[in-house]
């Protein structure tokens, strides 16, 4: 464990650099005088910090402003889009997604392709590396280099080592993902549970921006969750907080991939929707989804179900409504327990939010304590099924804002890059006197 430095001028400067970057993240474009006013740092200190950040490529000038109180034009500053690329990636049960952005979080390149569930682990990891290499090559003329890669995976992750301990829906155990990716790429790699990363993505760049307490729930093949308290991901005693999909909701219910019965994800997931549709059709209820799948309901997808629901298909709407009831029941319990100000629903199933939201709102209103329910905004993720990929980018972004100067590759293995160890974002209030 690194020793805590107190009364150290280098530490004070490191914190101040982070303060400037965070202020620009929140308020850019902003002049040096504006940064001094926003942070409480004196103008001389701000100018020195901006020079260092500009020399490193993190800050760039936009041009003169005439809004200075002195009447003299100030030079407006921003985070430099060309400071470097950030890469977010997700390995799902049936897909791989990779996205590269610049430092202004503008998408430069992306890849998303389906994979066959149960594919060999080595093949999935090799394909992931190939896609990462492709977006790097495609953006080589846009950025100075790669600032880092954030990878989200479904399952229990030891964020300190970047190891996927157990991915029930992938069928993977004890996979040292960070070490494997670090061996392939010469930049920092961060690995976390996909829902935790998606939570960070929505908190930085989505509908939960600025919220201090956030509950994120993601439903697709499985169901996961992430929790933000006071602006930080809640990790729990062993780093596994947020595994809400494995709350028991139906005693003696269906067998879950985790080995338990009646987990929340057995009744709120893609398969839960598909199961309801297949059962309804087997009982003689006609659906447009029969024709849409060529009478092979094994080919169902959430986009097909949403399309059928939009066209008024009763079977599709009933399946989404039943799933929404169970989603509302689980959310009501979590709202009672956590009292969040913002609840975000993401993942593939969020594509059906238009049809699910009325039922979810009704169930939460009926089952949650009215004071907690009133305080909680329930919103659909801004980035939908891409929230995890954006969370990977947010993870890289967070580390740059917290520690702007990159760590050399030979130092990587002695560092803890897990989100459970995220330092709080610097503010003027926590600068040592």
pLDDT of 60 > 80? The answer is yes
In this predicted structure, what is the pLDDT of residue 73? 65
For the segment 387-406, what is each residue's pLDDT rounded down to a tens digit?
A: 899 999 999 998 898 888 64
In this predicted structure, what is the pLDDT of residue 9? 76
In this predicted structure, what is the pLDDT of residue 326? 97
Choice among 94-108, 126-140, 220-234, 348-362 with the minimum mean pLDDT: 220-234
Q: Average of pLDDT values for 102-127?
A: 93
Residues 6 or more apart in contact with residue 282 via CB below 8 angstroms: none
Choice among 210-214, 316-320, 352-356 with the minimum mean pLDDT: 210-214
pLDDT of 287 > 90? The answer is yes
pLDDT of 420 > 50? The answer is no
pLDDT band, residue 185 (cuts 50/70/90): very high
The answer to pTM > 0.75 is yes
The DSSP bridge partners found for residue 234 are none
b or e along 336-363 (b: 16 or more beta carbons within 10 Å of the residue's beta carbon)?
bebbbebbbbbbbbbbbbebbbebbeeb
SS3 content of the chain, % helix, strand, coil (to 5): 45, 20, 35
pLDDT of 23 > 80? The answer is yes
Peptide bond into 29 cis (omega under 30): yes
Choice among 91-95, 157-161, 237-241 with the minimum mean pLDDT: 237-241
In this predicted structure, what is the pLDDT of residue 15? 85
Q: Average of pLDDT values for 347-375?
A: 95
Q: What is the DSSP letter of 171?
A: T
d(Cα 373, Cα 209) in Å, to the nearest integer?
20
For the segment 310-351, what is each residue's pLDDT rounded down to a tens digit?
A: 999 999 999 999 999 999 999 999 999 999 999 999 999 999
Q: Average of pLDDT values for 85-110?
A: 94
pLDDT of 172 > 90? The answer is yes
pLDDT of 247 > 60? The answer is yes
Residues 6 or more apart in contact with residue 29 via CB below 8 angstroms: 62, 65, 76, 77, 78
In this predicted structure, what is the pLDDT of residue 66? 60
- Give the rounded distance of the alpha carbon of 341 from its chain centre: 18
pLDDT of 121 > 60? The answer is yes
pLDDT band, residue 410 (cuts 50/70/90): very low
Task: Find tokens 């009215």 and name the residue.
Answer: 370
Choice among 8-17, 121-130, 245-254, 307-316 with the minimum mean pLDDT: 8-17
Return the beta strands (E) in 176-212 as ranges.
189-193
In this predicted structure, what is the pLDDT of residue 408? 45
pLDDT of 1 > 60? The answer is no
pLDDT band, residue 169 (cuts 50/70/90): confident
Mean pLDDT of the chain: 87
The DSSP bridge partners found for residue 110 are 99
pLDDT band, residue 377 (cuts 50/70/90): very high
pLDDT of 423 > 50? The answer is no
Three-state DSSP class for 200?
Answer: helix
Helix (H) or strand (E) holding 131: helix 121-138
- % of the chain with per-residue pLDDT over 70: 89
Alpha helices in 302-369 (DSSP H): 302-310, 314-338, 353-367
- % of the chain with per-residue pLDDT over 90: 61
pLDDT of 409 > 80? The answer is no
pLDDT of 417 > 80? The answer is no
In this predicted structure, what is the pLDDT of residue 411? 42
């Amino acid at each position: 464990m690194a020793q805590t430095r107190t009364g150290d001028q280098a530490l004070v400067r490191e914190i101040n650099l982070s303060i400037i970057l965070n202020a620009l993240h929140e308020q850019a474009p902003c002049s040096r005088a504006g940064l001094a006013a926003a942070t409480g740092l004196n103008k001389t200190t701000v100018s020195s910090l901006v020079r260092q950040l500009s020399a490193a490529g993190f800050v760039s000038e936009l041009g003169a402003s005439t809004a200075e109180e002195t009447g003299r034009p100030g030079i407006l500053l921003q985070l430099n889009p060309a400071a470097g690329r950030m890469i977010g990636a997700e390995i799902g049960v049936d897909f791989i997604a990779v996205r590269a952005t610049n430092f202004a979080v503008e998408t430069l390149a992306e890849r998303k392709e389906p994979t066959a569930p149960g594919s060999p682990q080595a093949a999935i990891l090799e394909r992931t590396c190939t896609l990462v290499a492709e977006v790097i090559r495609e953006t080589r003329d846009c950025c100075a280099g790669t600032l880092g890669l954030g990878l989200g995976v479904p399952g229990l992750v030891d964020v300190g080592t970047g190891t996927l301990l157990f991915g029930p829906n992938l069928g993977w155990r004890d996979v040292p993902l960070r070490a494997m990716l670090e061996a392939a790429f010469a930049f920092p790699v961060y690995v976390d549970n996909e829902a935790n990363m998606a939570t960070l993505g929505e908190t930085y760049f989505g509908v939960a921006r600025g919220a201090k307490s956030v509950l994120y729930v993601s439903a697709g093949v499985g169901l996961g969750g992430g929790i933000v308290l006071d602006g930080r991901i809640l990790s729990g005693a062993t780093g596994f907080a947020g595994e809400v999909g494995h709350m028991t909701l139906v005693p003696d219910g269906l067998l879950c991939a985790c080995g338990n019965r009646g987990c929340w994800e057995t009744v709120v997931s893609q398969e839960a929707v598909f199961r309801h549709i297949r059962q309804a059709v087997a009982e003689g209820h006609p659906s447009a989804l029969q024709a849409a799948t060529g009478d092979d309901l094994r080919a169902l997808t959430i986009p097909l179900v949403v399309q059928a629901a939009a066209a008024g298909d009763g079977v599709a709407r009933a399946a989404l409504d039943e799933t929404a009831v169970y989603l509302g029941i689980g959310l009501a319990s979590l709202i009672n327990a956590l009292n969040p100000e913002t609840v975000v629903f993401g993942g593939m199933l969020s594509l059906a939010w238009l049809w699910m939201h009325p039922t979810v709102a009704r169930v939460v209103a009926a089952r949650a304590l009215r004071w907690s329910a009133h305080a909680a905004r329930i919103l659909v993720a801004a980035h939908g099924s891409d929230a995890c990929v954006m969370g990977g980018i947010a993870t890289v972004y967070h580390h740059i804002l917290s520690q702007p100067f990159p760590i050399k590759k030979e130092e990587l293995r002695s560092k803890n890059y897990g989100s459970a160890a995220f330092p709080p974002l610097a503010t003027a209030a926590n600068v040592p006197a």
